Amino acid sequence: MFLINCPYCGERDQQEFKAGGEAHIERPKQPTELSDDEWAEYLFMRKNIKGVQFERWNHAHGCRKWFNMVRDTSNDEIKAIYKMGEKPPAQ
């Protein structure tokens, strides 16, 4: 059970949060211009790696804010947490 440092509320138990999949996948601004393959790339393709992963999390039972997390999936170490719109820390 992680202890997650919500950038708005501070340290809270994982129970209060919802994982939201891979981070930094931007919705295309002009979807109609995209080929089927390009759109499918955005829609379906997600990384699932053993190691350092960039993820979206939501403090669903707290402030309801979304934020980003860098997590090592091999040992669940949370390496960094930063707000939406902020640049990911250098790894």
Partner 1 sequence: MIKNLRVKSSEYIDETNRISFKFNGKTYHGFKGDTLASALLANNVHLVGRSFKYHRPRGIMTSGSEEPNAIVQVNPGTNRTEPNVRATEVEIYEGLEASSQNCWPSVEFDIGGINNFLSPFFPAGFYYKTFMWPASFWEKYEFFIRHSAGLGKSPTSSDPDIYDHRNIHCDVLVVGAGISGILAAKNAAKNNYKTLLVDEKNEIGGSTIFENNEFNKIDNKTPSEWLKKEIEELKNIKNLEIKTRTSVAAYHQYNYLLARENLTDHLEAKDKTNKIRQRLLKLRAKKVILATGALERPLIFNNNDRPGIMLSSAVKKYSEFYGVACGSKNIFFTNNDSAYESALSLYNKGINVEAIIDIREQSESKIVKKVKEAGIKIYWSYSIVDTTGYKRLNSVSIMKLSNDGTSVTGSKISISCDCLGVAGGWTPAVHLYTQSGSKLKFDEEKKVFVPNQNTSEQISVGSCGGDFKIDEIIKNLNQKLKDTLNIKETDLDNIKVEIDQENSKRNIWLLPSDKPLGKTKPFVDYQNDATAKDIKLALREGFRSIEHVKRYTTTGMGTDQGKLGNMHALGIIADTAGVKMGELGTTTFRPPYTPLTFGTIVGRNVGKFFDIFRRTPMNDWHVENKAEFENVGQWKRAWYYPINGETMHQAVQRESKAARESAGILDASTLGKIDIQGSDASEFLNRVYTNAWSKLAIGKCRYGLMLNEDGMVYDDGVTTRLGENHYIMTTTTGGAANVLGKLEDYLQTEWPELDVYLTSVTDHYATASLCGPNSKKILKKIIPDLDLSDENFPHMSFKEANIGSIQCRIMRISFTGEHSYEINVQASYGKDLWKKCMEAGQEFNITPYGTETMHLLRAEKGFIIVGQDTDGTMTPIDLQMDWIVSKKKYDFIGKRSLYRSDTMREDRKQLVGLLTDDPNIVLEEGAQIVSELNQSPVEMLGHVTSSYFSPNLNKSIALAVVRGGKDLMGKKLFVPMENKNINVTVAHPVFYDEKNERLNA
Residues binding partner 1 (CB under 8 A): 1-3, 13, 18, 20, 26-28, 30-32, 34, 36, 39-40, 43, 56, 58, 60, 64-66, 75-77, 84-85
CA distance 39 to 59: 29
Give SS3 for 55.
strand
With respect to partner 1, which residue has the nearer C-beta, 27 or 50?
A: 27
Q: Kindly state the smallest distance separating residue 91's Cβ from partner 1, in Å.
A: 20
Q: Which strands form 66-72's sheet, in the order they lie side by side? A: 18-22, 52-58, 66-72, 77-83
- Residue closer to partner 1 (CB basis): 4 or 47: 4
* Number of CB atoms found within 10 A of residue 64's CB: 10
CB of 46 to partner 1, least distance (A): 13
